[in-house]
């Protein structure tokens, strides 16, 4: 007799930390987790942003705590871990959604721009992993936010592309080393509307038309459309998935034109 029972796709009852969780995709994930019944700490550099998102998390009747961090400073991430341990007794899920970008070209980019981007986007993921893994002693799931730029050449984004390629390689490396207790996966979003880029991708712009034309689903994504992938990778339903990159791009990357 075949059993059709399966583990539900949910983060209810889990304890999550979302770095870069007070705006954009990270905030959507933090609030999506809270809406499902997870306790969530959403952290970034801004005290005001942390407070605002924490208040929204609490509206879902779950626990949270307030702590800021700068992913370029490992000590601040130790404070995040300590805060989570004090508030929740441990951590089951970590999402690294912090972002940094520079549009300097391959010919022109200098050390300062390069280092700024890689320090936040790549070294930051490493620091988040190193700081948070010790709190995940009951096992858990780390979800790193990558980008299509890891595998598709995008003009004027050399540091960002290199950092995201590094994030995907580091995701596989840490998946191997932290197994079997901790699973590590990445999400590669396509073009996602956030409050910060709403103008760049505004309807009617040439950029938006090009993206919509090439995307099989014919549009850019709302940030809430990243939440399902994060819930899946964070949940026990993905218990046999690690070292994987889940592309959420409406089909863009695999579509020729
Ligand atoms: N929006 C998109 O279209 C898109 C596409 C692909 C990948 N991504 C990736 O998704 C992630 C989230 O991007 P977003 O579009 O939501 O951007 P966003 O700017 O809205 O969010 C980034 C968050 O990171 C925080 N942050 C930045 N530097 C930090 C630091 N040094 N320490 C701690 N926190 C820091 C910011 O405060 C903010 O909360 C990023 O990794 C980005 O590269 C975004």
Whether the CB of 44 sits within 6 Å of ligand 1: yes
Q: What are the phi and psi torsion angles at 74 (to 5°)?
A: -60, -35
Q: Rounded to an integer, what distance in angstroms lies between the CA atom of residue 42 and that of residue 22?
A: 6
Which pLDDT does position 123 carry in this prediction?
A: 98
pLDDT band for 235, please (50, 70, 90 cuts).
very high
130 pocket-lining for ligand 1 (C-beta < 6 Å)? no
Q: Is the pLDDT of residue 2 over 80?
A: no
* 56: helix, strand or coil: helix
Query: Domains of the chain: which residue ranges?
Result: 15-194+223-247
Give the chain's mean pLDDT.
97
Q: In what order do the strands lie in the sheet with 93-96?
A: 39-43, 15-19, 93-96, 140-145, 182-189, 245-248
Q: What is the DSSP letter of 181?
A: T
DSSP state of 142: E
Residue from 17, 21, 24 to probe ligand 1 pocket by mutation (most atoms less than 8 Å from CB): 24
Give the position of tokens 């936040």. 120
pLDDT tens figures, 153-165: 999 999 999 999 9
Assess contact for 243 and 184: CB atoms under 8 A: yes
**Percent of the chain whose predicted confidence (pLDDT) is above 90:** 93
What confidence score (pLDDT) does residue 29 get?
Answer: 99
Atom of ligand 1 minimally distant from the CA of 120: 31
Does the C-beta of 149 come closer than 6 Å to ligand 1?
no
What are the phi and psi torsion angles at 179 (to 5°)?
-70, 155
Residue 4 — pLDDT band, cuts 50, 70, 90? confident
pLDDT at residue 1 above 80? no
- How many Å apart are CA 255 and CA 216, to the nearest integer? 7
Distance 20 CA to ligand 1 centre (A): 6
Q: Write down the architecture of domain 15-194+223-247 according to CATH.
A: 3-Layer(aba) Sandwich (3.40)
Q: Is the CB of 72 under 6 A from ligand 1?
A: yes
Question: Vertex 44, ends 41 and 48: CA angle to 5°?
Answer: 90
Place of tokens 């948070």: 132
Annotated catalytic residue 201:
no
Ligand 1 site, residue 145, Cβ cutoff 6 A: yes
Contact yes or no for 146/245 (Cβ under 8 A): yes
Structure tokens at 212: 């919509």
- Measured in angstroms, how far is the CA atom of residue 26 from the centroid of ligand 1? 7
- The answer, yes or no, to whether residue 251 has pLDDT greater than 90, is yes
């Amino acid at each position: 007799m075949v059993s059709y029972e399966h583990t539900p796709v949910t983060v209810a009852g889990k304890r999550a930390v979302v770095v870069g969780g007070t705006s954009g995709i990270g905030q959507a994930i933090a609030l999506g987790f809270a809406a499902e019944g997870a306790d969530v700490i959403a952290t970034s550099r801004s005290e005001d942003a942390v407070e605002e998102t924490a208040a929204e998390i609490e509206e879902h009747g779950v626990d949270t705590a307030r702590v800021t961090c700068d992913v370029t400073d490992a000590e601040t991430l130790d404070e995040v871990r300590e805060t989570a341990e004090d508030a929740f007794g441990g951590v089951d899920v970590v999402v690294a959604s912090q972002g940094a970008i520079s549009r300097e070209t391959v010919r022109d980019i200098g050390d300062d721009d390069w280092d700024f981007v890689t320090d936040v986007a790549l070294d930051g993921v490493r620091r988040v992993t190193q700081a948070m893994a010790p709190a995940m002693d009951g096992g858990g799931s780390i979800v790193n936010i990558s980008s299509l730029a890891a595998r598709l050449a995008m003009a004027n984004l050399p540091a960002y592309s290199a950092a995201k390629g590094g994030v995907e390689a580091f995701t596989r490396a840490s998946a191997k080393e932290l197994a079997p207790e901790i699973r590590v996966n990445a999400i590669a979003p396509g073009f996602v509307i956030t409050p910060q880029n709403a103008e760049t991708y505004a309807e009617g712009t040439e950029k938006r038309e090009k993206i919509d034309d090439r995307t099989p689903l014919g549009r850019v994504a709302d940030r809430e459309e990243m939440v399902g992938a994060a819930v899946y990778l964070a949940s026990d339903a993905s218990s046999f998935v690690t070292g994987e990159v889940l592309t959420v791009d409406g089909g863009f990357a695999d579509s020729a034109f």
